[in-house]
Amino acid sequence: MPRPTPAQLVYGSCTVICSTLAMLLLSQTSSGIGIAVIALAALGLGLLVAMTVPLPRPRAATEPEPAPLASPEVRVPRHRETVAAAAADSVREP
């Protein structure tokens, strides 16, 4: 099981705290069993919220793989060869 992200921890913790306070205030219970039931319900709700936070997608699927090196030769494009030859010819002419 992967570790929870910081966003999951924050959303889950906030949900537990807020839902516990809201349920205690709305139910106005003072018995130990009522408080325990509310606390368990809040923990379950916090766990549900934390697990439904979307996880970041891996970036490796979108990046192309680097091409393997075929040989150590350096190939010069054809248009550069003609430019280099023309430059060499212009230097030779007086």
Question: What are the DSSP calls for 2-26, one per residue?
Answer: PPPPHHHHHHHHHHHHHHHHHHHHH
pLDDT of residue 5: 84
pTM, two decimals, is 0.54
pLDDT of residue 25: 93
Do residues 16 and 42 make contact, with C-beta atoms less than 8 angstroms apart?
yes
pLDDT of residue 43: 92
pLDDT of residue 91: 60
Domain segments of the chain: what residues?
1-55
What are the pLDDT digits (tens) for 19-76? 999 999 999 988 999 999 999 999 999 988 888 877 666 665 555 666 666 556 666 5
Structure tokens at 11: 């959303």
Cα–Cα distance, 77 to 29 (Å, whole number): 82
Under the banding of pLDDT at 50, 70 and 90, the label for residue 4 is confident
Report how many helices (DSSP H) and strands (DSSP E) the chain contains, helices first: 3, 0
Select the more confidently predicted residue: 11 or 84: 11
